[in-house]
Structure 1
Amino acid sequence: MQFDPQGVAPEDLSHAGSVVDKAIEYMLEQGITPISIASALLGGSLGMLARSMDDRAVAGVLRSALASVEGGELAEMRRAAAEGQSGGN
Protein backbone atom coordinates (compact mmCIF):
# COMPACT_ATOMS: atom_id res chain seq x y z
CA MET A 1 0.00 0.00 0.00
CA GLN A 2 1.22 3.47 -0.80
CA PHE A 3 2.51 5.82 1.92
CA ASP A 4 0.11 8.68 2.66
CA PRO A 5 2.32 11.79 3.05
CA GLN A 6 -0.60 14.24 3.15
CA GLY A 7 -2.50 12.28 5.79
CA VAL A 8 -5.64 12.08 3.65
CA ALA A 9 -6.30 8.36 4.07
CA PRO A 10 -9.31 7.57 6.27
CA GLU A 11 -8.55 6.32 9.76
CA ASP A 12 -10.27 3.01 9.04
CA LEU A 13 -8.29 2.25 5.87
CA SER A 14 -5.92 -0.13 7.66
CA HIS A 15 -8.85 -2.01 9.20
CA ALA A 16 -10.62 -2.27 5.84
CA GLY A 17 -7.39 -3.52 4.25
CA SER A 18 -7.04 -6.20 6.93
CA VAL A 19 -10.60 -7.38 6.35
CA VAL A 20 -9.99 -7.60 2.59
CA ASP A 21 -6.72 -9.50 3.16
CA LYS A 22 -8.58 -12.05 5.33
CA ALA A 23 -11.31 -12.39 2.70
CA ILE A 24 -8.69 -13.02 0.02
CA GLU A 25 -6.96 -15.60 2.21
CA TYR A 26 -10.30 -17.36 2.80
CA MET A 27 -11.17 -17.41 -0.90
CA LEU A 28 -7.76 -18.85 -1.79
CA GLU A 29 -8.28 -21.57 0.84
CA GLN A 30 -11.62 -22.33 -0.84
CA GLY A 31 -9.82 -22.91 -4.15
CA ILE A 32 -11.10 -19.82 -5.91
CA THR A 33 -8.65 -18.75 -8.61
CA PRO A 34 -6.73 -15.51 -8.15
CA ILE A 35 -8.24 -13.95 -11.30
CA SER A 36 -11.77 -14.68 -10.04
CA ILE A 37 -10.95 -13.20 -6.66
CA ALA A 38 -9.41 -10.11 -8.22
CA SER A 39 -12.31 -9.67 -10.66
CA ALA A 40 -14.88 -9.94 -7.87
CA LEU A 41 -12.98 -7.49 -5.67
CA LEU A 42 -12.54 -5.03 -8.53
CA GLY A 43 -16.24 -5.24 -9.42
CA GLY A 44 -17.22 -4.72 -5.80
CA SER A 45 -14.80 -1.83 -5.48
CA LEU A 46 -16.18 -0.12 -8.56
CA GLY A 47 -19.70 -0.58 -7.25
CA MET A 48 -18.71 0.94 -3.91
CA LEU A 49 -17.03 3.89 -5.64
CA ALA A 50 -20.07 4.41 -7.87
CA ARG A 51 -22.31 4.64 -4.80
CA SER A 52 -20.09 7.20 -3.10
CA MET A 53 -18.55 9.31 -5.92
CA ASP A 54 -19.47 10.79 -9.27
CA ASP A 55 -18.00 9.32 -12.46
CA ARG A 56 -15.29 11.97 -12.70
CA ALA A 57 -14.00 11.15 -9.21
CA VAL A 58 -14.11 7.39 -9.96
CA ALA A 59 -12.08 8.04 -13.11
CA GLY A 60 -9.54 9.92 -10.98
CA VAL A 61 -9.20 6.94 -8.65
CA LEU A 62 -8.68 4.64 -11.63
CA ARG A 63 -6.09 6.99 -13.15
CA SER A 64 -4.24 6.99 -9.83
CA ALA A 65 -4.28 3.19 -9.76
CA LEU A 66 -2.99 3.06 -13.33
CA ALA A 67 -0.19 5.50 -12.45
CA SER A 68 0.81 3.19 -9.59
CA VAL A 69 1.03 0.24 -11.99
CA GLU A 70 2.95 2.24 -14.58
CA GLY A 71 5.24 3.60 -11.85
CA GLY A 72 6.32 0.10 -10.89
CA GLU A 73 4.57 -0.24 -7.53
CA LEU A 74 3.09 -3.65 -8.41
CA ALA A 75 6.44 -4.89 -9.67
CA GLU A 76 7.97 -3.84 -6.35
CA MET A 77 5.24 -5.71 -4.46
CA ARG A 78 5.91 -8.86 -6.53
CA ARG A 79 9.65 -8.52 -5.92
CA ALA A 80 9.14 -8.13 -2.17
CA ALA A 81 6.78 -11.12 -2.09
CA ALA A 82 9.26 -13.27 -4.03
CA GLU A 83 12.06 -12.29 -1.66
CA GLY A 84 9.85 -13.13 1.31
CA GLN A 85 9.07 -16.56 -0.11
CA SER A 86 12.73 -17.31 -0.77
CA GLY A 87 13.77 -16.25 2.71
CA GLY A 88 15.31 -13.00 1.51
CA ASN A 89 18.19 -14.71 -0.30
Structure 2
Amino acid sequence: MQQDPSGMAPEDLSHAGSVVDKAIEYMMEQRIAPISIASALLGGALGLLARTMDDRSVAAVLRNALASVENGELAEARQGQPPQA
Protein backbone atom coordinates (compact mmCIF):
# COMPACT_ATOMS: atom_id res chain seq x y z
CA MET A 1 0.00 0.00 0.00
CA GLN A 2 1.67 3.19 -1.19
CA GLN A 3 1.07 6.59 0.29
CA ASP A 4 0.49 9.68 -1.81
CA PRO A 5 3.38 12.16 -2.20
CA SER A 6 2.21 14.18 0.83
CA GLY A 7 2.42 10.99 2.90
CA MET A 8 -1.19 11.23 4.00
CA ALA A 9 -3.52 8.82 2.18
CA PRO A 10 -2.92 5.38 0.73
CA GLU A 11 -3.35 5.26 -3.04
CA ASP A 12 -6.14 2.69 -2.70
CA LEU A 13 -8.25 4.87 -0.39
CA SER A 14 -10.54 5.93 -3.24
CA HIS A 15 -11.15 2.32 -4.20
CA ALA A 16 -11.88 1.33 -0.60
CA GLY A 17 -14.24 4.29 -0.27
CA SER A 18 -16.11 3.23 -3.40
CA VAL A 19 -16.54 -0.30 -2.06
CA VAL A 20 -17.87 1.04 1.25
CA ASP A 21 -20.24 3.42 -0.58
CA LYS A 22 -21.65 0.48 -2.58
CA ALA A 23 -22.07 -1.57 0.61
CA ILE A 24 -23.95 1.32 2.24
CA GLU A 25 -26.14 1.74 -0.85
CA TYR A 26 -26.95 -1.99 -0.78
CA MET A 27 -27.82 -1.94 2.94
CA MET A 28 -30.06 1.12 2.43
CA GLU A 29 -31.86 -0.74 -0.36
CA GLN A 30 -32.36 -3.59 2.12
CA ARG A 31 -34.03 -1.05 4.42
CA ILE A 32 -31.46 -1.42 7.17
CA ALA A 33 -31.67 1.58 9.51
CA PRO A 34 -28.93 4.18 8.94
CA ILE A 35 -27.85 4.01 12.60
CA SER A 36 -27.46 0.22 12.30
CA ILE A 37 -25.38 0.59 9.14
CA ALA A 38 -23.21 3.28 10.70
CA SER A 39 -22.76 1.32 13.93
CA ALA A 40 -21.76 -1.83 12.04
CA LEU A 41 -19.30 0.08 9.84
CA LEU A 42 -17.81 1.90 12.83
CA GLY A 43 -17.48 -1.33 14.79
CA GLY A 44 -15.81 -3.03 11.85
CA ALA A 45 -13.46 -0.10 11.33
CA LEU A 46 -12.48 -0.04 15.00
CA GLY A 47 -11.88 -3.77 14.93
CA LEU A 48 -9.63 -3.43 11.89
CA LEU A 49 -7.74 -0.54 13.46
CA ALA A 50 -7.29 -2.53 16.68
CA ARG A 51 -5.81 -5.44 14.72
CA THR A 52 -3.44 -3.28 12.68
CA MET A 53 -2.39 -0.38 14.95
CA ASP A 54 -1.39 0.25 18.52
CA ASP A 55 -3.82 2.01 20.87
CA ARG A 56 -2.03 5.35 20.59
CA SER A 57 -2.37 5.32 16.79
CA VAL A 58 -6.05 4.32 16.98
CA ALA A 59 -6.64 7.21 19.41
CA ALA A 60 -4.95 9.60 16.94
CA VAL A 61 -7.27 8.43 14.15
CA LEU A 62 -10.28 8.96 16.41
CA ARG A 63 -9.07 12.42 17.49
CA ASN A 64 -8.69 13.34 13.82
CA ALA A 65 -12.25 12.18 13.12
CA LEU A 66 -13.56 14.16 16.09
CA ALA A 67 -11.70 17.26 14.88
CA SER A 68 -13.42 16.89 11.51
CA VAL A 69 -16.80 16.87 13.23
CA GLU A 70 -15.92 19.85 15.44
CA ASN A 71 -14.60 21.80 12.42
CA GLY A 72 -17.92 21.44 10.64
CA GLU A 73 -16.77 19.08 7.90
CA LEU A 74 -19.77 16.80 8.42
CA ALA A 75 -22.14 19.75 8.35
CA GLU A 76 -20.70 20.71 4.96
CA ALA A 77 -21.31 17.17 3.68
CA ARG A 78 -24.91 17.31 4.99
CA GLN A 79 -25.85 20.46 3.09
CA GLY A 80 -28.63 19.68 0.69
CA GLN A 81 -29.55 16.51 2.58
CA PRO A 82 -32.84 16.11 4.45
CA PRO A 83 -32.56 16.17 8.26
CA GLN A 84 -32.12 12.74 9.86
CA ALA A 85 -33.92 11.65 13.00
**TM bucket, shorter chain:** 0.7 to 0.9
Aligned AA (2:13): L
- The residue that corresponds to 1:32 in the other structure is 32
Q: How does 1:6-45 map to 2 (within 5 A)?
A: 6-45=6-45
Structure 1 runs of 4+ with >6 Å offset: none
Percent identity over the alignment is 78
Aligned AA (2:56): R
Q: What SS does the corresponding residue of 2:32 show, helix, strand or coil? A: coil
Query: Which one has the bigger helix percentage?
Result: 1
When normalised by structure 1's length, the TM-score is 0.83
When normalised by structure 2's length, the TM-score is 0.87
Q: What SS does the corresponding residue of 1:10 show, helix, strand or coil? A: coil
> Deviation digits for residues 40-62 of structure 1, max 9, x if unmatched?
00000000000110000000000
Aligned AA (1:71): N
Q: Which runs of 5+ in 2 are unaligned?
A: none
* Aligned residue pair count: 79
> Deviation digits for residues 6-50 of structure 1, max 9, x if unmatched?
342001000000000000000000000000000000000000000
Cα root mean square deviation, aligned: 1.9
Q: Which runs of 5+ in 1 are unaligned?
A: none
